[in-house]
Chains A and B, each alone.
Chain A
Amino acid sequence: MSDYVYLDHNATTLVRPEAARAVTAVISAVGNPSSVHGPGRAARKTMEEARRAVARLLNAEPADVIFTSGGTEANNLALEGSGRTRRLVSAVEHPSVLAGGGEVIPVDHNGHVDLDRLEERLLADDTPALVSVMLANNETGVIAPIGDVVAIAHRHGALVHCDAIQAAGKIAVDVIALGVDMMTISAHKIGGPSGAGALIVPGISTSSGAEIRGMQFGGGQERGYRVGTENLVGISGLGAAAAAAHAGLQDFARLADLRDAIEQGVKGIEPRTTIMGEDVQRLPNTTCLTMPGVDSQTQVMAFDLAGVGISAGSACSSGKTKASGVLKAMNMSDEVASSAVRVSLGWPSTAQDVKAFLAAWRDIYGRQNIDKISSPAA
């Protein structure tokens, strides 16, 4: 297992050492952040430090950060809590956004939401709407034109929720500059522990932002937007990961070189490979590419046997084999969609990992399509 090459960081990434240290420091302590005695106050202090770190990562105000149990809950809170029943969501959103229902706005072959259609649909009905578009797609890494989405939505009185779970910590994210009304992040996607996330609502602390209502009722924690005793260990891990990710943004940007090496390497073996969103802005760490004629699931299993962990799309669909909804939405043919896999690098990834991946790729492709492979000498 120690030689295993893990290239599925978009599913969950390694806990950063800084976050592990924070977790270790807090896990043996006792104190409910709502208690007024010393241990309780110390717990609250830990939590507020984490809040500031998360705020810094996204250029938000600490008081506008609402901690949740993770990205899925934060997305649900944004949608439900906004009270807006008319929702327009892009076709490539995460299931936790799509599950809330609403009108689906198509995307183009690059995965970009159809802005004309968005405006048209907003014009068609003046019920106050909520638009939800993810900043970077989990399967393809494609970065959405959020600025345009915000401009259009706000022109028509709609709120914008932005799922930044995959983008945060990978590229610079400025919630104010983007102008979105709500933003979701998740700890375990940025090198924190699973079980913590946040919804950022710029201006909510000063009543100058979107108004939301909590989904659950109880003790009044997180100013009532999200009640229940806070996951202090998770939150402190999230804070430490946010700080480390913030400091490591430049290093993370350099993963694009490794990503490019993967893509060039695969193209060198098989020029007919399709790379999703190749011509548009993407996350530096993600590539979604095909192995022509080889089923995604077969690839994933073969890679696993070869000691390389990748995925065939989002990890949330309880292990069932099904063609990716994202690629279908991008109007990819069944042939292309069913042979695509996602390779996602993380902060610990190395050139060695890329080499191992390419070797495995060549081997698997060669075994499956012995006659199709181009001769290395050619």
Chain B
Amino acid sequence: MTTTKSHWSKDAPLYLDYQATTPTDPRVVEKMLPFFSERFGNPHSRTHHYGWDAEEVVEEARAQVASLIGATPKEIIFTSGATESNNLALKGVGNFYKDRKNHIITCVTEHKCVLDTCRHLEQDGFDITYLPVQENGLIELDKLAAAITENTLMVSIMAVNNEIGVIQPIKEIGALCRENGVFFHTDAAQAAGKIPLDVDDMNIDLMSISGHKLYGPMGIGVLYVRRRPRVRIVAMINGGGQERGMRSGTLPTPLCVGIGEACALAEKEMGAEAERLKMLRDRFHAGINERLSEVYLNGDLEHRIPGNLNLSFAYVEGEGLMMGVNDLAVSSGSACTSASLEPSYVLRALGVEEELAHTSLRIGLGRFTTEEEVDYAVEKIATEVTRLREMSPLWDMAQEGIDLKSIEWADH
């Protein structure tokens, strides 16, 4: 792991994978540490000092999270992370209302945990519509509207995609859902703390948030569950009845404190941070384009969080490139699937050709990224791509004007 320092040292890999996980902000760490030691306590032990102290700070954290998204504290359910939140939103709502409606609409570029959960719901008799995306990664509202039927229970569309960083038209989707009396869940793991979110303004009924994607700790997440009009869910984890029965288990006080503080910091600093990251991102993109030709940006540039670039470098192979830039911690494809050799399903859904999907790098910039780091990474990537292209038979053919598609490649 790379320790976060204000000045990056060249001994450790340069961390440019902020969509996989963000370092915990030192200010968050500072807030959390006492709860790992002297201020320990089970927040459910209401009978003594330590329990009270823990309960108070957990409730404060709940309010901090609520404030970030314009919710009330009672609508915030702590979970173990966004994967659990997404599972709970889909299965929880699905199982509660399944006798009335059983159609769920989602989209093909959702996070794996949403897609996997939907597949399991299908086996349980639910009807799932997987909306396609356009070349820019965004869904079409007309297609969503057309997909809604009287049987539609819920729409689950992510706010920001984890691979390509594009921002879906959440407010418009929310309005459409509300008009049609359909619940709207959004996986906001990549969005919360990065772009303004307001559950009322956007008509969001359920929202998943992850601690470790917004400079908070791993192991904690949130599911926002609207109270007015009320959304009911069936719990997945049962037991002590914590979180008003929607999620049992002892609340991890330090982690709650951590995600709360992370949300508070994000709320305060989001605007300035977005501006700074956009400047760095544009510098990165321009630097690459200056040095290299035939680099393609995957996903819409305009509707995109400032900390993400997803670039395909034609005529070099992704894994080979990863090896060449191994002092940069960047990702090819999403973190959960990158151990496999399959090209990213998100890029394929955009219609990116398989060759280009193979050569994509996801560059995630964040709170601790500096201009110096950006310049170093640009230089490193440009040099390595150039070297690999000089080694690439495909690059030679392209330079000779040979259309690679005209060649009959043998399968292997």
Q: Answer whether A and B touch in the complex at a CB cut-off of 8 Å.
A: yes
Binding site for B on A (CB under 8 A): 1, 4, 6, 8, 11-15, 19-20, 23-24, 26-32, 34-40, 42-43, 46, 68-73, 75-76, 94-97, 99-100, 186, 188, 193-196, 215-221, 227-235, 237, 297, 300-301, 303-304, 309-312, 314-319
A47 to B235, CA, bound (A): 28
Are B82 and A316 interface neighbours, CB within 8 A? no
Are B218 and A232 interface neighbours, CB within 8 A? yes
A304 to B48, CA, bound (A): 5
Chain A residues with Cβ below 8 Å from B26 are 28
With A318-B44, A319-B44 as contacts: A36 and B322 at CB distance below 8 Å? yes
Which stretch, B168-176, B192-200, B276-284, B331-339, touches the partner chain A? B331-339
Chain B residues with Cβ below 8 Å from A234 are 218-219, 252, 255
Cβ-neighbour of A318 out of B13, B87, B113, B240 (below 8 A): B240
24 residue pairs bridging A and B, Cβ less than 8 Å apart: A11-B42, A15-B36, A24-B33, A24-B36, A29-B2, A30-B1, A39-B329, A69-B80, A71-B250, A75-B239, A95-B248, A99-B238, A188-B250, A217-B113, A219-B336, A231-B80, A231-B220, A232-B218, A309-B49, A309-B51, A311-B45, A315-B44, A315-B250, A316-B242
A229 to B248, CA, bound (A): 19
Are B48 and A218 interface neighbours, CB within 8 A? no
With A39-B1, A217-B119 as contacts: A229 and B13 at CB distance below 8 Å? no
Name the residue among B21, B24, B219 with the largest chain A CB count within 10 angstroms: B219
State whether the Cβ of B22 lies closer than 8 Å to any Cβ in chain A: yes
With A29-B2, A229-B210 as contacts: A96 and B239 at CB distance below 8 Å? yes
Are A12 and B49 interface neighbours, CB within 8 A? no
Q: Which residue of B lies closest to A76 (CB)?
A: B237
Are B42 and A217 interface neighbours, CB within 8 A? no
Chain A residues with Cβ below 8 Å from B293 are none
A99 to B22, CA, bound (A): 36
A314 to B240, CA, bound (A): 9
Chain B residues with Cβ below 8 Å from A73 are 80, 237, 249
Chain A residues with Cβ below 8 Å from B15 are 30, 39
Cβ-neighbour of B80 out of A39, A228, A309, A310 (below 8 A): A228
Are A95 and B240 interface neighbours, CB within 8 A? yes
Are B44 and A316 interface neighbours, CB within 8 A? yes
Chain B residues with Cβ below 8 Å from A229 are 21, 81-83, 210, 212, 218
State whether the Cβ of B120 lies closer than 8 Å to any Cβ in chain A: yes
A34 to B255, CA, bound (A): 21
Are B255 and A318 interface neighbours, CB within 8 A? no
Chain B residues with Cβ below 8 Å from A231 are 80-81, 217-220, 255
Chain B, interface size category, equals: 35 or more
A319 to B45, CA, bound (A): 7
Are B23 and A29 interface neighbours, CB within 8 A? yes
Are B330 and A71 interface neighbours, CB within 8 A? no
Are A37 and B1 interface neighbours, CB within 8 A? no
Chain B residues with Cβ below 8 Å from A220 are 112, 336
With A76-B236, A315-B45 as contacts: A218 and B87 at CB distance below 8 Å? yes
With A36-B322, A195-B255, A217-B120 as contacts: A28 and B23 at CB distance below 8 Å? yes
State whether the Cβ of B84 lies closer than 8 Å to any Cβ in chain A: yes
Are B80 and A35 interface neighbours, CB within 8 A? no
Name the residue among A14, A39, A186, A188 with the largest chain B CB count within 10 angstroms: A39
A227 to B337, CA, bound (A): 13
Are A194 and B254 interface neighbours, CB within 8 A? yes
B339 to chain A, nearest CB (A): 6
Name the residue among A4, A229, A316, A319 with the largest chain B CB count within 10 angstroms: A229
A188 to B81, CA, bound (A): 18
Are A194 and B20 interface neighbours, CB within 8 A? no
With A28-B29, A316-B242 as contacts: A70 and B50 at CB distance below 8 Å? no
A93 to chain B, nearest CB (A): 10
State whether the Cβ of B289 lies closer than 8 Å to any Cβ in chain A: no
Are A32 and B21 interface neighbours, CB within 8 A? yes
Are A311 and B47 interface neighbours, CB within 8 A? yes
What 10 new A-B contacts, CB under 8 Å, besides A28-B26, A35-B17? Answer: A11-B42, A34-B339, A37-B13, A38-B327, A69-B80, A70-B250, A195-B80, A216-B236, A217-B116, A303-B48
State whether the Cβ of B68 lies closer than 8 Å to any Cβ in chain A: no
B250 to chain A, nearest CB (A): 6
Are B2 and A27 interface neighbours, CB within 8 A? no
In the A-B complex, the 5 residue pairs with the smallest Cβ-Cβ separation, listed nearest first, are A231-B219, A218-B113, A316-B240, A96-B239, A195-B252
